[in-house]
Structure 1
Amino acid sequence: MNLRDIDLNLLLVFDRMLAERRVSAVAQSLGLSQPAVSNALARLRRALGDELFLRTAQGMVPTPLAMQLAEPVAAAMSALHGALNQSTAFDPATSTRSFTLAMTDIGEVYFTPRLMERLNQVAPGIRISTVRNTAVNLRDEMEAGQVDIAIGLLPQLKAGFYQRRLFMQRYVCLFGKQHPLAAKSRLTLKDFASADHVLIQAAGTGHGQVDEQMAAQGIARKVRLVVPHFVAVGHILQSQPMIATVPEKLARALAEPFGLAVRAHPADLPQVAINAFWHARFHREPGNRWLRELLTETFAEG
């Protein structure tokens, strides 16, 4: 098929339908009527010889061909948008734009204080909102521009996304300074196995890999408490004689405020990559690019 055989406006409708999955939402987004959007989809179906989207209880679900076309069409739309708007200036010093970052509760503890301090210096009018990067629709929200950048251990964000390594981090043991093991400078696996533990099951993140690694190595824990997130760990360990296995940067952030001790983990655990992710559609968008560069300057190691 030659490009002259197809109206490129139809690809714009197709691209928005992939993000919105509802004709009414696409119509509102593009400033068109719903019949106009339906007509555009009908024309594209005839041109490509495929249904492209099937109506279900969950909305319009893309066919295999539509999914195959999704990434190259999104990349083409992004390239065109960037070319047409490359002269658009973004001045962080005067901007009042709002950015949305997806991150875990660990990210909020580690990233947001330093990020806000940096923004106060170079972009005092910019507002930051955070949402959980464990959301099941994170890919769609980033494609639609509702989330600008996601930060963390997110192996599910591959096709259609760019990523930039911020740092590698290891897992450590964290416990109160009054814990009997605080007198030791180095823990053994026997120490680890004999202690009571807090287990953090952060669903939807890659942090569950550490539990799988320990299980594969036959390392057992006496789990006394299971919590669904990391944010309460400091408060728990401050008053309870238990150990938690946590990422090192979180441990360092919690140690002084909560009077906690940090020790190297006795298990052989791999380091994990913490990356910043953004959708290909916004790779050349000036504001998104500026924020990515700021995150890199502030947090990237190595």
Structure 2
Amino acid sequence: MELQDIDLNLLVVFNELLRQRRVSTVAQTLGISQPAISNALNRLRKLLGDELFLRTSKGMMPTPFAESLAEPIGYALGAIYNTLNATSTFEPASSNRSFTVAMTDIGEIYFLPALMKRLAKEAPGVTISTVRNYPDALRDAMETGQVDLAIGFMPDLKTGFFQRRLFKQRYVCLFRKGHPLAKSGMTMKAFLEAEHVAIVAEGTGHGMVDAAIQRASVPRRVCLRVPHFVAVGHILQTTDLIAVVPQAYATRTLAPFGLDSAPCPVKIPDITINVLWHARNHREPSNQWLRQLVFEEFSQ
């Protein structure tokens, strides 16, 4: 197949279908009719010899072949767009740009208050939406442009991504003020005797906590398991349970929930918190601006 055999508009339709999964939404985004979208998809199917998208109750789902094309086509279109708009600039003070940022619930607790305060001063018209995705889904969303940035500990995002380190953090033990441990100290003996709430946080790097504790052959008395951090402060505030949490989470919850913290007696590797972005957005002016703002506000 030669490049002259391909209509670039077909790849634009393909990329939007990957991103939005509905013909009607893609037609609205591109400003053309639904039959025109269907016609473009049929042309691309014949050209590539694959169904590419199948109709389901959840929308147009890509075939394995279409998924294999997602990253290279997304990157190529992003490179073309950035090249053609290389001289464009981004004016944050007058922009109404909407950004989508992937982060965990810890990220929302730690980053959003300061980030929104900064945006209110420098870019009052800019809006932020946050999402939480498992690594594979996040990779696809960033490749197709659904997500602009990701912030957090995300070791699975490698090929095709850039990253910039914000800070490193350790894990600490968190418990209520007045807890017996506040007086006796968090010794290994106290850690073993305490009752724990364990945070599963599936799809994030927090799973390394359980793995590190298991490798150390430390038998925790886990009385409660929760899927995220949202309720942990409330739980610790009114019980004698303890939790092993990242320092950033502890920093934001000590005062509001009347909690205390201590170094964890089990050796758990520090984690690196990064801001990550896909190569397609590497030179895009508004993305560059937001990345720099995040770095200035949170890098240590």
Corresponding residue for 1:256?
255
* 1:287 aligned residue: 286
Q: Distance in 2 between matches of 1:218 and 1:249?
A: 26
1:64 and 1:235, CA in 2 relative to 1: closer, same or farther beyond 3 A? closer
SS at structure 1 position matched to 2:82: helix
**How many Å separate the matches in 1 of 2:201 and 2:234?**
17
Aligned pair 1:65/2:65, yes or no?
Answer: yes
1:96-175 mapped onto 2 (5 Å cutoff): 96-133=96-133, 137-143=137-143, 145-175=145-175
1:161 shift after superposition: 3.8
Residue segments in structure 2 that go unaligned for 5+ positions in a row: none
Deviates more, 1:58-67 or 1:129-138: 129-138
Summarize the Cα distance change of 1:299–1:267 in structure 2 as closer, same or farther, 3 Å threshold: same
Secondary structure of the residue aligned to 1:241 is coil
1:225 has 2:224 as partner = yes
Match of 1:93, SS?
A: helix
Note the alpha carbon deviations across 1:231-262, whole angstroms, 9 max, x for none. Answer: 33223323322211000111122223333222
What's the secondary structure of 1:229's corresponding residue?
Answer: coil
Structure 2 length normalisation: TM-score?
A: 0.87
2:274 maps to 275
SS of corresponding position for 1:207 = helix
Counterpart of 2:33 in structure 1 is 33
Q: Is the 8 A contact 1:178 1:241 kept in 2?
A: no
Structure 1 contact 141–147 (Cα < 8 Å) conserved: yes
Describe the SS at the equivalent of 1:266: coil
Q: Return the alpha-carbon distance in structure 2 between the equivalents of residues 133 and 168 of structure 1.
A: 22
Distance 2:57 2:94 in 1: 45
- The sequence identity of aligned pairs, in percent, is 59
1:122/1:60 Cα in 2 relative to 1: closer, same or farther (>3 Å)? closer
Distance 1:156 1:55, change over 3 A: farther
Gaps of 5+ in 1: none
Two-structure CA RMSD over aligned residues (Å):
2.6
Distance in 2 (alpha carbons) for counterparts of 1:236 and 1:63: 44
Does structure 2 conserve the Cα–Cα contact (< 8 Å) formed by 1:173 and 1:265? Answer: yes
* Amino acid aligned to 1:43: R
Aligned to 2:13: 13
Query: Is contact 1:104-1:134 (8 Å) kept?
Result: no
Q: What amino acid does structure 2 have at the position aligned with 1:60? A: M
Deviation at 1:150, TM superposition (A): 2.2
Residues 78, 284 of structure 1: 8 Å contact kept: no
Deviations 1:6-40 (A, max 9, x none): 22222212222222333333323222223322222
Q: TM-score, normalised by structure 1?
A: 0.87
- Post-superposition Cα deviations, 1:98-125, rounded to whole Å, max 9, x if no partner, equal 3332322211221112212322443344
- Given the alignment of the two structures, is residue 247 of structure 1 paired with residue 253 of structure 2, yes or no? no
Query: Contact 1:100/1:148 (CA < 8 Å) preserved in 2?
Result: yes
Question: CA 1:237–1:101 in structure 2 vs 1: closer, same or farther (change >3 Å)?
Answer: same
The verdict on how the C-alpha distance between 1:273 and 1:184 changes in structure 2, with shifts beyond 3 A counting, is same
Deviation, structure 1 residue 89: 2.1
**Alignment correspondent of 1:198:** 197
AA paired with 2:182?
A: A
Q: Please say which of residues 258-267 and 130-139 is displaced more in the overlay.
A: 130-139
3-state SS of 2:292 partner = helix
Structure 1 residue 135, shift from structure 2 partner: 9.4
Cα distance between partner residues in 1 of 2:135 and 2:80: 29
Return the offset for 1:146.
4.3
